[in-house]
Amino acid sequence: MQPFTDFKLDLETFISDLNALIEINHKTITDLLAVPEKTYANFVRPFDLMEEDLELLFTPLSHINAIKNSPESQKVYAEALPILTDYSTFIGQNLAIYEAFKAIKAREYDHLNTEQRRILDLNILHFELAGAHLDKASKERLAEINLRKSTLTNDFSQNVLDATNAYEKIIIDTADVEGIPEGDLEDAKFEEKGITKYRFTLQMPSYIAYMTYGPNRTIREELYRAYTTRAPQNGAIIDELMALRQESANLLGFENYAEYSLASKMAPSTKSVISFLNSLIEASRKQGMQELEELRAIAPEIDLQSYDTAYYGEILKKAQYDIDEEEYRPYFEQRSVMEGMFTFLNELFGIRFVPQEIELWDEKASVYDIYEADTLTARVYFDLEARKDKRGGAWMHNFQTHCEDTQGCTHLSSAFVVCNFPPSSDTSPSLLRHDDVVTLFHEMGHTLHHLLSRVKEHGVSGVNGVEWDAVEFPSQFLENFAYEPKVLKLFASHHQSGEVLSDEMIAKLIRAKNFQSGMFMLRQIEFSLFDFELHSKLYQGEEIQKLLDSIRERTALIKPPSYNKFQNGFSHIFSGGYSAGYYSYKWAEVLSADAYYAIVDEGVFGSELARQYKEIVLAKGGSQSMQELFTEMMGRECDSKNLLRLNGIE
Ligand SMILES: [Zn+2]
């Protein structure tokens, strides 16, 4: 067995080390391609493993640049990126590699195991989705389309950005800002000629702050109108982009862009995605209408409009489920949360976390080895507290991957968990919000997906090769347990008095989570369905608005004003990576809710299905489609009823 790779980074020599490694890789590829009788063992295996060396070198740099950012790390990082891009372009366009994969598949496929077949299939798919199998003329046209698409998507987001930055609303009358939280108000406040004024913009969180707390309805509408009419010139970009997406999908042999998108995802067919989304509309509508009635009841004097819902929603939420975070924090002391989470994971999966004394990049960072029974399995690094030089947010970053090398030697996995929790000091502990606990569980879900892999092939081990619409399944799955009373009671005790969080306080957390969940669900489905239907056939000009309107007939309980052109700012699908993929959020949530309740209904601890989850979903990583793994674990297809249960929708 190969020992863990030490975490080390030398910024001084990084670029020359990287260039040296890439040169070795180029030479390896030349040698591999020269092998006369190519087989899985002598070609695919070594090719796949080259990726590991590159990750081991590059991950420490990207990690340090994110968590101990400095001008030096930025400089080296910026210098490294184009080197890596060049290298991956070289691989992606290397048809000799593609031909070698195909030849090996034709000769050996029947004799390979599931993991090896998956490696071949995914590599070939990757080449073909980029057009490797097309004739010369089609390839040229595809390259033209891709170039034009990247200009259009870039223009789209630039237009949104410009429109967002071009607008501001100055408020002078303090009555118009009454009720807005202190922090938001501080951000908005400025002095001009001795007068205090407030500036609200279309940027987050300024826009959200006024829409949620701003008492002046006319100003709310003004902001809302400005927001939903941004970048009208994007209408023409959408038309051209949709035509190009349709054309490229056709060139690659697909009926439409939605089909092209699903080729690398877990969802089996466009029909299955659409019927899944439709079923959620049916199930959530009744509750959504009730929630709207409740909202109307607290504002009987007005005809409630789109720009009122966040404002009255906040008032209703305060009245019904006001959660005082400060009341909860003392129950979530960081160290006891960590200890409790380890105990929970031990109960659920039989894994032990053993702290290691290793010097790291910051004294607050820590490292643990994970054992299954007495077998060393993986290593995990935690860097949980906020710092000036750390990027915001929370994430899991995989470092080493469980695999077997060409000598048959096993490599163990490792990963980093990064959060931005309140810092602790010698005199005061780090007290978390409940949301932080949820975040920690979420990232730990991703982490275990990577760490508990038993796959031998690097490219489909852990989170490698996992379908895009399944990636959030393990994280959302684990996150759900942060609301489970049996789990919370393991660690949620007051850091001074030792008193355990009461059932009533836990129930309150769950009720607050589910506040207006019907309306929220409908909104998410509206985005998802619009995105997916739009990519299912070619829509142009007014047809696009008509499509959106027809979906809103079923999802929007309050009809948005006719000036609302939300699509012109829908960057996720027109300039981000979510085109015909926005449904993935809900898709993964359904899997996670279904698996979660299966385990809760078995009493959580000692659950047989929890073992199955570990042995099948986690251990097999990306080596099979999640569709197959899920069915194998549950012994049945996924049932969306449990998503409704999780959201408190009857
Ligand atoms: Zn996630």
Q: What is the pLDDT of residues 385-417, one digit of tens each?
A: 999 999 999 999 999 999 999 999 999 999 999
- Eight-state DSSP code of residue 176: G
Ligand 1 geometric centre to CA of 549 (Å): 31
Take residue 56 and report the two structure tokens written for it. Answer: 């081991």
Kindly tell me the burial class for residue 352, based on how many C-beta atoms sit within 10 Å of its own C-beta (0-12, 13-18, 19 or more): middle
Does 324 score more than 90 pLDDT? no
- The residues placing their C-beta within 5 Å of ligand 1, an ion, are 475
Classified as helix, coil or strand, 172 is coil
Ligand 1 geometric centre to CA of 416 (Å): 14
Per-residue confidence (pLDDT) for residue 31, from 0 to 100:
97
Nearest to 392 by CA among 23, 69, 35: 69
**What letter represents residue 486's amino acid?**
K
Ligand 1 geometric centre to CA of 446 (Å): 7
Place of tokens 């949820």: 438
Ligand 1 geometric centre to CA of 305 (Å): 33
Q: What separation in angstroms does the CA of 556 have from each of 313, 519, 520?
A: 16, 8, 10
Ligand 1 geometric centre to CA of 521 (Å): 19
Cα–Cα distance for residue pair 208/218, rounded to 1 Å: 16
Pairing of strands 413-421, 375-385: parallel
Contact at 8 Å (CB) between 315 and 410? Answer: no
Ligand 1 geometric centre to CA of 570 (Å): 21
Interval 267-271 mean pLDDT: 96
CA 357 to chain centre: 32
Dihedral, CA atoms, 446, 451, 455, 460, nearest 10 degrees? 40
Does 322 score more than 80 pLDDT? no
- Eight-state DSSP code of residue 556: -
- Residues tagged active-site: 443
Q: Is the dihedral of CA 516, 520, 521, 523 positive or negative?
A: positive
User: How sure is the predictor about 646, in pLDDT bands with cuts at 50, 70 and 90?
Assistant: very high
Percentage with pLDDT > 70 across the chain: 100
pTM of the predicted model as reported, rounded to 2 decimal places: 0.93
Interval 557-563 mean pLDDT: 96
Does 628 score more than 90 pLDDT? yes
Q: What is the pLDDT of residues 85-137, one digit of tens each?
A: 999 989 988 999 999 999 999 999 999 999 999 999 999 999 999 999 999 99
Per-residue confidence (pLDDT) for residue 93, from 0 to 100:
87
User: How sure is the predictor about 620, in pLDDT bands with cuts at 50, 70 and 90?
Assistant: very high
Per-residue confidence (pLDDT) for residue 650, from 0 to 100:
78
Q: Is the peptide bond before 205 cis (omega within 30 degrees of 0)?
A: yes
Q: Is the dihedral of CA 235, 236, 241, 246 positive or negative?
A: positive
Does 224 score more than 90 pLDDT? yes
User: How sure is the predictor about 142, in pLDDT bands with cuts at 50, 70 and 90?
Assistant: very high
Place of tokens 């990963």: 415
Nearest to 626 by CA among 155, 207, 265: 265
Task: Give the number of other Cβ atoms within 10 Å of residue 135's Cβ.
Answer: 8
Ligand 1 geometric centre to CA of 112 (Å): 33
Q: What does the mean pLDDT of the chain come to?
A: 96
Interval 565-577 mean pLDDT: 94
Contact at 8 Å (CB) between 44 and 116? Answer: yes
Per-residue confidence (pLDDT) for residue 435, from 0 to 100:
94
Ligand 1 geometric centre to CA of 381 (Å): 17
Does 555 score more than 80 pLDDT? yes
Cα–Cα distance for residue pair 621/617, rounded to 1 Å: 6
Interval 499-518 mean pLDDT: 94
Cα–Cα distance for residue pair 467/240, rounded to 1 Å: 28
Sheet of strand 366-372: strand arrangement? 351-356, 366-372, 375-385, 413-421, 395-398
- Eight-state DSSP code of residue 5: P
Cα–Cα distance for residue pair 227/436, rounded to 1 Å: 30
Per-residue confidence (pLDDT) for residue 272, from 0 to 100:
95
Nearest to 450 by CA among 376, 408, 396, 410: 396
